[in-house]
């Protein structure tokens, strides 16, 4: 079973440095696989230290000598809106490339392209409306905040919904006047290869945006350790985040890291059960389950537990698994054979840790490729690995609880703390529970729908720092306090001799 190769794929995926598409200095390349067949469909330049050095040098020149950081916000805003216009005009092509490269269902990939455009629009508007504090002591002093771009931002992005998540970092980094070096995930470099042409067409000066493909341990490591890159924004696994934290520490870099998750979805007996089912099924199986905010631990009050498990399993069995390019597909192919092997290993572990009520293997009709049947385990103990560890695939663990206190204990019983979903019609319970749950983001009786003005980030092993809205502006800028005396500067007269 194969999928058609979309139009517009280049002969090779190259770096984009100082306004030009270039090969690696040493000619290094790596294979990019089609997740439906696991066959190589293109080669990509594999960045090394020398390539990162060239990209950082270009970004540094564009920051110190170029017009970008000196533009008034309205000028940069106009260019960011042009970027959004171009992305929107190419949403069909972007979705096809993203779906083909990552295995995401085409209908969900289309949504990601639209969100990418919206990210640029949001920050284009925000930097024009953004203002800083001024404090006055009448007749004595004025204090104001002077906000400045920092320099070269290193952006390291994941392979799930790559184009949209790249826009989430590129938008605020560029809006605030920084220059950037982007290192996309090696599993899914195809859609990122479009950024260079998009930025050039929109009028972004050469060197402001640079892209180096490659492996994390090579290109990513070189970017993190580069002394001329003061900022690193990373989205990915918690273990990789810990490594980046250590490697960036000697340089005292600014870090923003959105890491893994094992988010609870808590369903109380008084919840709207149909709505809770809709949201919790979608929350695990959309984006092939490859989403950091997936509600992959579902905690259900015991009085409705059996009914919920039965209905959930039935829904999971009816989820449409198919080719990513088929508009009817709800779950496509996982991104890469390495990741497929990891997810399937957890499926086998789950068979010893819970009661398998749906899925549990490869779906019929898909003898090759990274296809996994939507898999549901019930009666999962809190110390089970499939309860504790991030699987990042279409696999869910369901566990019963008896009291609000037990539900909260179960919800908080992992090292992660990214998101939480709470389903109840009791308003007091909803707010008290949400404020006690250890999660950076909470959705009450709602699906994962975000307002871009709100902070995005996690606690515990799920992240460091927050982005979104003004939090992104804060991360990508220095805030300099300027103090002005309006009267005499009454300083003690050290060294002036005896007072008279």
Enumerate the active-site residues. Answer: 258, 292
Strand order across the beta sheet in which 441-444 lies: 355-358, 375-378, 395-401, 297-301, 264-267, 419-423, 441-444
Report the C-alpha gap between 338 and 370 in whole angstroms: 9
Between CA 32 and CA 186 the distance in angstroms is 8
Q: In what order do the strands lie in the sheet with 15-17?
A: 20-22, 15-17, 209-211, 179-183, 152-156, 231-235, 254-258, 463-464
Instruction: Kindly provide the residue ranges of all beta strands, DSSP E only, lying in 379-457, ordered along the sequence.
Output: 395-401, 419-423, 441-444
For residue 45, give the nearest of 11, 68, 71, 73 by alpha carbon: 11
What tokens appear for 458 in the block? Answer: 């996690």
**What's the DSSP call for residue 216?**
I
Distance CA 259, CA 380 (A): 24
Q: Which two tokens stand for residue 299?
A: 């905690």
**Alpha carbon distances (Å) from 474 to 74, 256, 477:** 19, 11, 5
């Amino acid at each position: 079973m194969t999928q058609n190769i979309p139009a517009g794929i280049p002969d090779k995926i190259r770096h984009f440095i100082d306004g030009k598409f270039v090969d690696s200095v040493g000619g290094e390349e790596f294979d990019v696989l089609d997740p439906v067949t696991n066959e190589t469909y293109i080669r990509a330049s594999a960045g090394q230290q020398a390539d990162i050095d060239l990209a950082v040098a270009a970004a540094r020149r564009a920051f110190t000598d170029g017009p970008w950081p000196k533009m008034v916000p309205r000028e940069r805003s106009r260019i960011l809106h042009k970027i959004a216009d171009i992305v929107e005009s190419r949403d069909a092509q972007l979705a096809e490339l993203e779906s083909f490269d990552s295995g995401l269902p085409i209908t969900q990939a289309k949504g990601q392209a639209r969100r990418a455009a919206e990210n640029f629009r949001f920050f284009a508007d925000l930097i024009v409306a953004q203002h800083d504090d001024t404090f006055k002591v009448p007749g004595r002093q004025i204090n104001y905040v002077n906000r400045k771009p920092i320099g070269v931002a290193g952006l390291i992005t994941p392979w799930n919904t790559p184009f949209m998540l790249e826009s989430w970092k590129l938008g605020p980094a560029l809006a605030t006047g920084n220059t950037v070096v982007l290192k996309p995930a090696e599993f899914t470099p195809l859609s990122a290869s479009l950024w260079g042409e998009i930025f050039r067409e929109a009028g972004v000066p050469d060197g402001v945006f640079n892209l180096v493909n490659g492996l994390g341990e090579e290109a990513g490591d070189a970017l993190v350790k580069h002394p001329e890159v003061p900022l690193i924004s990373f989205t990915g696994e918690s273990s990789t985040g810990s490594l980046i934290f250590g490697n960036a520490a000697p340089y005292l870099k600014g870090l923003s890291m959105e890491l893994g998750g094992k988010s609870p979805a808590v369903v109380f007996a008084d919840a709207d059960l149909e709505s809770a089912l809709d949201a919790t099924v979608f929350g695990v199986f959309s984006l092939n389950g490859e989403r950091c905010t997936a509600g992959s631990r579902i905690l259900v009050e015991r009085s409705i537990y059996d009914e919920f498990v039965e209905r959930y399993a039935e829904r999971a069995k009816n989820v449409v698994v198919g080719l990513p390019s088929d508009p009817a597909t709800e779950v496509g192919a996982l991104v890469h054979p390495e990741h497929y092997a990891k997810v399937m290993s957890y499926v086998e572990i789950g068979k010893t840790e819970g009661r398998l009520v749906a899925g549990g293997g490869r779906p019929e009709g898909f003898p090759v490729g990274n296809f996994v049947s939507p898999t549901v385990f019930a009666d999962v103990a809190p110390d089970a690995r499939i309860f504790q560890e991030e699987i990042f695939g279409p696999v869910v663990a369901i566990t019963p609880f008896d009291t609000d206190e037990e539900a909260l204990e179960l919800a908080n019983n992992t090292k992660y703390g990214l998101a939480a979903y709470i389903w109840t019609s009791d308003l007091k319970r909803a707010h008290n529970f949400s404020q006690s749950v250890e999660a950076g983001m909470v959705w009450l009786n709602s699906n994962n729908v975000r307002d871009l003005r709100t902070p995005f980030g996690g606690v515990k092993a799920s992240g460091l720092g927050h982005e979104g809205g003004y939090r992104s502006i804060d991360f990508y800028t220095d805030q300099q306090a300027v103090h002005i005396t309006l009267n005499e500067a009454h300083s003690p007269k050290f060294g002036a001799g005896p007072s008279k």
